[in-house]
Amino acid sequence: MLMTSQDIDPQAVLGFIVRRQQTPETACAYLGTDPSEIRADLEGLDQHWLETVRISASADGRIHGAAVVEWDEELDRSWVHGPWVEEDALRTAGPELLAAVTAQAPVTAHEMYADVAHDGLAWLAQHCGWRAGEANFEYSRTSPPPAGPQASDARAATGADEPTLRELHEREFPGTYATTEQLLDPDGTYSTSVIDGERAPVGYVSWQLQGEAAVYIDFLAVHPGARRKGLGQRLIAAAQEASGRSTVALTVDEHRPDARAFYAALGFTVTAATRPYRLQRPA
């Protein structure tokens, strides 16, 4: 039976959601594990969660599923939070909840995100005709910044590096969110280092500071002819050295198995692995 927040104590629904958030196999990717943060995030949605939440419960009030939605009409897109559903109720309550929350959103494109380990959501998405997108892997490594006067042979990039950097950047990351000009802008948010080959740079790394302790690698690439010679490793060391940060974080898309092997070889661990699911309804 599907219910709204009028029918069921919101505290009980929140408790159910918090329990399902505790493991990647049952969590939705937007919310973390901390109960007060989950509550704050739900209350901060564009549409208050208590208006959009739909709950699957038995007649005696036992909750076995819930879902929430938020949408942006200008972007013509909604984001489903959940559905959080107990395994034995997935096949019945899952499709019902998904249909009930998306029906509220006056948009044609719908998205939801979950860990790649969330088999229940993968099944539900497929069953309901949602398309699974490319997974994104978050990596992190904490180690002391390299010691010594200069642990890497990298140097800070300058405007003179622009033509070579553009070629490398546009080949490896076509259409990405930051242009070569932005990576080289001394007043911008990115820092970029390069390692020189005989005539020009053969590899670059661009990063930003993240929080108090981390450096976030936005882009890293080595010319195909210069790979497997340790340049990638030295560029990571350069970003760590220049930033003075002990934690290095980054994300890699599923279609880059070489990069994933590289980060694993350097001792990075996967901290999250998120897959998007999308549904496009006719306008």
Ligand X SMILES: CC(C)(COP(=O)(O)OP(=O)(O)OC[C@H]1O[C@@H](n2cnc3c(N)ncnc32)[C@H](O)[C@@H]1OP(=O)(O)O)[C@@H](O)C(=O)NCCC(=O)NCCS
Contact residues: ligand X, CB under 6 A? 172, 220-222, 227-233, 250, 252, 256, 258-259, 261-262, 265
| Pick 17 or 202: Cβ nearer ligand X | 202
Alpha helices per DSSP H over the chain: 10-20, 35-43, 49-52, 90-102, 119-127, 162-172, 180-184, 231-243, 257-265
Angstrom distance (rounded) from CA 210 to CA 234: 20
CB of residue 191 to ligand X, shortest distance in Å: 16
CB of residue 270 to ligand X, shortest distance in Å: 13
33-56: b (≥16 Cβ within 10 Å) or e? eeeeebbeebeebeeebeebbbbb
Amino acid at 158: T
Q: Which residue has the tokens 């408790």?
A: 15
| Pick 91 or 171: Cβ nearer ligand X | 171
| Pick 20 or 275: Cβ nearer ligand X | 275
| Pick 104 or 233: Cβ nearer ligand X | 233
CB of residue 255 to ligand X, shortest distance in Å: 9
| Pick 42 or 259: Cβ nearer ligand X | 259
| Pick 27 or 205: Cβ nearer ligand X | 205
Angstrom distance (rounded) from CA 176 to CA 41: 28
CB of residue 261 to ligand X, shortest distance in Å: 3
Cβ 114 vs Cβ 83: under 8 Å? no
Angstrom distance (rounded) from CA 92 to CA 86: 11
CB of residue 2 to ligand X, shortest distance in Å: 42
Q: Which residue is nearest to ligand X (CB)?
A: 232
Angstrom distance (rounded) from CA 162 to CA 252: 24
CB of residue 29 to ligand X, shortest distance in Å: 20
Token representation of residue 105: 């959103």
